[in-house]
Structure 1
């Protein structure tokens, strides 16, 4: 929060810093074959009306008001706006306009609204003032959500070695940003069989005993005999909002299961 900015009637955002991370655009490449990148803001957190009300109190812009009073007025205003919007009005809320939108397809001009295929939502379009203010911001390219896991060591506790795996024994992994977390289907700890992919095994985060950004400890699954690589796939980010894309790293050593 920038109190100096919030306390102004006409805000000056030239000193604001918006951290963004760059991600490869997999579906688009330049003519020379190089991958292009797109930027996404690194979201610090998710705020509630209570948080914003406390920000306003901190600026002194509404002296004499309590956070509860601000929230109460805000909710009444929201309800009034929603009523107008859902009855077909476009409402200018200051930072932009709000309007109703219908999603889903219709089979013909005579089709009726089908709640199984269609939905009504409220859309937002930023206004001229917001666009002018945002144009003053110079984004900062940061690592942020694009941080990648780094495996430093993998030790089979049963044998005390870093080149074998003991099914049913314990495995200790150290590293940086290796916390296995996220809702993407590919997130997990992998034991990849280098000779037969069908023998590879994935462990979900819920099956990992110790799961932190610096250390992972788990029971080695019942692996078939062969050679294996250890891979981590995670959406871990240093901010409170996880990465949208999964990040992975495969440890360099090859492990043997007798």
Structure 2
């Protein structure tokens, strides 16, 4: 019997990703926060998970990640044991002589769990906290140009946002879809005319001309399903998105 070393808390949400059962739910991890390299190294040093200082571990990790990215850009596949990574070309080539076209094709990096990480799964206990409070939630986004889910953003192209109670509606001036720069916290609001589809479980927008960087996405809405809310509520995707 596996020893429980870790605990994950999760809430249940209406499953809008499948249509066959209107009464089923999907679990979403109640993540407290996102950890960066520095925080992970500091945690390892504090709990005895590293035999070097946090700063030395952080420096070595950054060197490793930089070199890994370099090798991925040369087309090599990566297998760390904890995750695998490879470079993938998206898009259709209409003839054997067609060359790569950045307006038609795209490059993405795909990461998947490795054997060492999978081996930790039996050591995790999942505590379902019940049905989440009836509020707006973003479950996933898809960059239509690249087909990337919860990862890439292609400025000027469509982004499909799937969730619950995310219809963009209300009289408050703050209502809308926002891309928030993860570094500067600058907020870029999607023009109303660039909201292509606007339904309770799916919103499609044209991605603004964002600079290269990392972003979070927010939907502010007064939609509740019955009557308009007095104050907007915010749905935020718990993953960061990248403009290359």
TM range (shorter): 0.5 to 0.7
Residues 73-88 of structure 1 correspond to what in structure 2 (within 5 A)? Answer: 73-88=60-75
Q: Which residue of 1 aligns with 2:110?
A: 123
Query: Whose Rg is larger?
Result: 1
Give the number of the structure whose residues are more often strand, by fraction. Answer: 2
Q: Which residue is equivalent to 2:133?
A: 147
Which residue is 1:104 aligned to? 91
Q: Is the partner of 1:125 in helix, strand or coil? A: strand
CA distance in 2, matches of 1:147, 1:204: 25
Report the equivalent of 1:29.
Answer: 20
Distance 1:56 1:46 in 2: 16
Give the 3 Å change call, closer, same or farther, for CA 57–15 of structure 1 in structure 2.
closer
Query: Considering only aligned residues, what root-mean-square deviation do their CA atoms show, in Å?
Result: 3.1
Separation in structure 1 between the aligned mates of residue 237 and residue 71 of structure 2, nearest angstrom:
36
| Distance in 1 of aligned mates of 2:41 and 2:229 | 45
User: How far off its partner does 1:148 sit?
Assistant: 2.8
Q: CA deviation at 1:185?
A: 6.8
* 1:46 alignment counterpart: 34
Q: Kindly tell me: are residues 230 and 89 of structure 1, through their superposed partners in 2, closer, same or farther at Cα, counting changes over 3 Å?
A: closer
Deviation, structure 1 residue 142: 2.0
* Alpha-carbon separation, structure 2, partners of 1:203 and 1:143: 31
Counterpart position of 1:113: 100
Deviations 1:170-216 (CA, angstroms, capped at 9, x unpaired): xxxxxxxxxxxxxx97356x4xxxxxxxxxxx21337xxxxxxxxxx
Instruction: Find the aligned partners of 2:94 and 2:30 in 1 and give their Cα distance.
Output: 40
Match of 1:204 in 2: 173
Structure 2 gaps, min length 5: 136-164, 176-226, 239-244
Rate the CA distance shift 1:109–1:21 in 2: closer, same or farther, 3 A. Answer: farther
Match of 1:137 among 124, 149, 160: 124
* Structure 1 match to 2:167: 186
- SS state at 1:129 partner: helix
Q: Does 1:62 align with 2:53?
A: no
TM-score when scaled to structure 1?
Answer: 0.52
Matched, 1:231 2:229: yes
1:20 alignment partner, one of 10, 15, 38: 10
- Cα 1:118/1:13, change in 2 over 3 Å: farther
Over residues 123-180 of structure 1, what are the superposed CA-to-partner deviations in whole Å (9 max), with x where a residue is unaligned? Answer: 1121122112113323211258x3235xxxxxxxxxxxxxxxxxxxxxxxxxxxxxxx
